[in-house]
Amino acid sequence: MRIAMIGGGYVGLVSAACFAEFGVEVSVVEADPGRLAALHAGRMPIYEPGLDALVAGNVAAGRLSFTDDLAAALAGAEAVFIAVGTPSRRGDGHADLTYVYAAAEQVARALTRPAVIVTKSTVPVGTGRRIAAILRDVRPDLPCAVASNPEFLREGSAIADFMRPDRVVIGVEEEGAREVLRQLYRPLYLIETPIVFTNLESAELTKYAANAFLAMKVAFINEMADLAEKAGADVHDVARGIGLDGRIGRKFLHPGPGFGGSCFPKDTLALARIAQDARAPSRLTEAVVAVNDARKAGLGRRVLDAAGGSVRGMRVAVLGLAFKPETDDMRDSPAIPLIEALADDGADIIAYDPAAMAAAKPLLPAAVRYAETAEAAIEGAAVLVAVTEWNEFRALAPAWLAARMQGRLIVDLRNIFDPAAIRAAGFVYHGVGRGSVSQLAANPEFEQDFEQDREFSDG
């Protein structure tokens, strides 16, 4: 089978490489010259563990190629996936479908034979019908089916999510198109992956509903963390206590600085707008957006309060910039409003992230300095703020920190450190939702259990 993937960004590149690994011949159409040149040179334009090897192997096997020649890519393709960006539209929060509709029109003009046109991008309900109308208007001579196949890839584990998904959702209504997609996903049938076939609208809404629900769990546990701090409870015990209920589940119940990334912020906002336009407002989704925005906006004040009201003139080490580990994605990262607030207060900020510093520099105040290692960032710091839970930060021993920091304040926005051990080393420790450390001390195996169950906050 041969397919084309329109867009070599995160979703398009990962999906193309994984389909190629299934044995499908995939041609990726990338219009950006810089990105195309990087792909031809074997350089990944995004950070995703294992992607470089997967791409290289399938390019070498002749199953994966990259081009800016749309007509050549479409030649012989049985399915054409649209995987272009759908950012939030300025001013109203709706998904901007400019690139999706432009791609559909360009594909329609370039096709020489019928094909299944599949939206892989996250698109609002009704987009598939609009694409079908575009195809009919542009090429009334060429009967093409339209399908929706939303992605459910978490940054940092996207390849595993594609290869061993919880489910595959396909919105399609023509039997021929259904068979094409069934054959494309045949390797997943063999491992008994649930394949949910539905209509276009249901598939489109499923993507938004899934992300909104997961975002709601994140916002909820963050609110419970605030309550735990006031009430003397420990939010980790609360999360485990509710997460072991099969009706709730343990995933996405880790407190922190709020969600960011490419999916949750824009998709919750878009769903709220979709619901408003349909005159079926989603008050829960609207509340999730508001709660998360407020949480990120308050991060700077949390650090300032911990420091006695100000960090002016203090050296503040910020560990982690990406919105989550195992990615360089800075979109809506909580680190941005946090660092802006600290810079406004006059802090001397030195930051470190294993992957995201290049992406972060254009987004952060010019005064921010960047360290080559976590150790260099920490050296001489008065305050340490942990923002992203990279594994290498967990290995920082309290005694080692005490020997290198000038100050004794740690603000742990991801709860990566053991409060008892940090305090025993002489630090003033501020975690999230840890109103009491007595239960952690009495139940040391809990932290290990929780780390095995946690999920990073990304759709």
Active site residues: 263
Handedness of CA 180, 186, 189, 193 (dihedral sign): negative
Handedness of CA 15, 209, 168, 152 (dihedral sign): positive
Q: Cite the DSSP H helix spans in 139-263.
A: 158-163, 175-184, 186-190, 200-231, 235-243
Contact by Cβ (8 Å): 321, 329: no
Residue from 420, 410, 358, 419 nearest 387 by CA: 410
Residue from 221, 292, 300, 287 nearest 261 by CA: 292
In this structure, the number of other CB atoms found within 10 A of the CB of residue 267 comes to: 26
Residue 219 token pair: 């916002």
Identity (one letter) of the amino acid at 77?
Answer: A
Phi, psi of 170 (to 5 degrees): -130, 120
Contact by Cβ (8 Å): 304, 339: no
Q: Are strands 2-6 and 25-29 parallel, antiparallel or unpaired?
A: parallel
Contact by Cβ (8 Å): 127, 97: yes
Cα angle 418, 422, 425 (rounded to 5 degrees) comes to 150
Identity (one letter) of the amino acid at 411?
Answer: V
Residue from 43, 39, 41 nearest 26 by CA: 39
DSSP three-state, residue 399: helix
DSSP state of 354: T
DSSP three-state, residue 318: strand
Distance CA 206, CA 66 (A): 30
Residue from 324, 346, 348 nearest 334 by CA: 324
Give all strands of the β-sheet with 348-352 in edge-to-edge order.
369-370, 348-352, 315-319, 383-386, 409-412, 428-430
Contact by Cβ (8 Å): 385, 406: no
Locate tokens 């996207």: which residue?
A: 158
